[in-house]
Amino acid sequence: MRNESCDIFCNVVDNYGDIGVCWRLARQLANEHGLAVRLWVDDLASFRRLYPEADVALERQLCRGVEVRHWPAAFPAVEPADLVIEAFACKLPPGYMTAMAARERKPVWLNLEYLSAEDWVEGCHKLPSPHPSLPLTKYFFFPGFTERTGGLLLERDLLARRDAFQSNDGAQQRYWHSLGVPELQAGELRVSLFGYENPAMEALLQAWELSDQPVTCLLPEGRSLPQVAVFFGHPAGKTGDIWQRGNLRVHVLPFVEQERYDELLWACDINFVRGEDSCVRAQWAAKPFIWQIYPQHDGVHLEKLQAFMNLYCSGLSQQASQAVQALWLGWNRGDSARLAASTDSGQAWPVFLSCREEVQARARDWAQRLAGNNLALNLLDFFHQVA
């Protein structure tokens, strides 16, 4: 029986990370923990990219056990839920806040923050912020990588499904087949490439073109596609395109549902990811990955990147730690020189590859270690403590 309710508010700023995280959290709270969840989204078109069955014209629809509501400018009068989550400091509708304050038993109000590995996060996690005029308190809830943070979103059965998939060649073959990608050949390297525009793109593609082993790059349709198309001499590209240059072959994939994207990360040898949610998914995939952080104008993203690299690389040999950091920094700074095609040992890609075994072992331990700190469970514990 669903006797606790939750409203999640999602203002889509850019790309798919905001709605990606909210949709994932909403499904978990509804389907794994039995809450009656309403997900308020101001941009249903972005939501439909993640859930193609969504109807952008509907004010209200039931999607995988979650009531998805359009968040209109003129917000309707609704009874607030027991647990109210504003994602990434989006502003709640004023009328809704007044209704929260009018409830005899006040809702628990959380601001779910962006993910960061910086030290200050532990000190700010769960801090209260009383509303200046209404009898309401908002709490900051920070995801994170250490025990004193809110942890990461992780579905109950995800790691078991990952292990079953990764140990089943037939399942992987069927997956590739469903995407129109041929079976894995001996000696081939499979890399997924989900990123933003990047001045270092050409250098990376050249490194793959000239590499000793065949590289198959799986490229989801999106912001990296125009640059990759130009590398192959095309003005543009589309889903289904296949391009070859030297030892590099690129398959342009459709943007698939989140569960199928997980399978792509599980099936590839190395994953390039970006933003927030795909970065977390790459960590659960337990494969080496390269993270392109969401760029901010003031450059603070590079500090966040460094904070994460410090955590992720601690315990690696000096050589592997340097290899990971050189490649990640080169990719994030758009530094072609570091990623250039030469197989000279000073170049980041081949050096990274030479440490692949160690980085692979780290990826596995890392996922195992983080799995004990589950965001949805932590969030519900906090809700029950405060309520």
Binding-site ranges for ligand TRH (CB under 6 A): 13-18, 20, 50, 114, 194, 220, 255-258, 261, 274-278, 294
- Tell which residue, 303, 271, 309, 307, has the closest CA to residue 287: 271
Burial of 99 (0-12, 13-18, 19+ CB in 10 A): middle
CB of 320 to ligand TRH, least distance (A): 25
Report the residue number, 108 or 229, with the smaller CB distance to ligand TRH. 229
Number of other CB atoms surrounding residue 57 within 10 Å: 8
Report the residue number, 16 or 382, with the smaller CB distance to ligand TRH. 16
Report the residue number, 13 or 124, with the smaller CB distance to ligand TRH. 13
CB of 41 to ligand TRH, least distance (A): 14
CB of 72 to ligand TRH, least distance (A): 21
Report the residue number, 118 or 257, with the smaller CB distance to ligand TRH. 257
Catalytic-labelled residue, pool 42, 113, 262, 276: 276
Check if 276 is active-site: yes
CB of 231 to ligand TRH, least distance (A): 19
Catalytic-labelled residue, pool 7, 18, 82, 155: 18
**385: which 2 tokens?**
């403590």
How far from 119 is each of 146, 293, 306, 384, CA to CA, in Å? 10, 18, 11, 27
- Tell which residue, 217, 222, 253, has the closest CA to residue 232: 217
DSSP category for residue 103 = S
β-bridge mates for residue 70, sequence order: 41
Under 8 Å CB-to-CB from 8, ≥6 apart: which residues? 22, 25, 26, 29, 37, 38, 39, 40, 85, 87
- Tell which residue, 267, 295, 240, has the closest CA to residue 17: 295
Report the residue number, 47 or 383, with the smaller CB distance to ligand TRH. 47
CB of 272 to ligand TRH, least distance (A): 10
Under a CB-based contact definition with an 8 Å cutoff, are residues 348 and 319 in contact?
A: no
Check if 42 is active-site: no
Closest residue to ligand TRH, judged by C-beta, is 17
Tell me which residues are annotated as active site. 18, 276
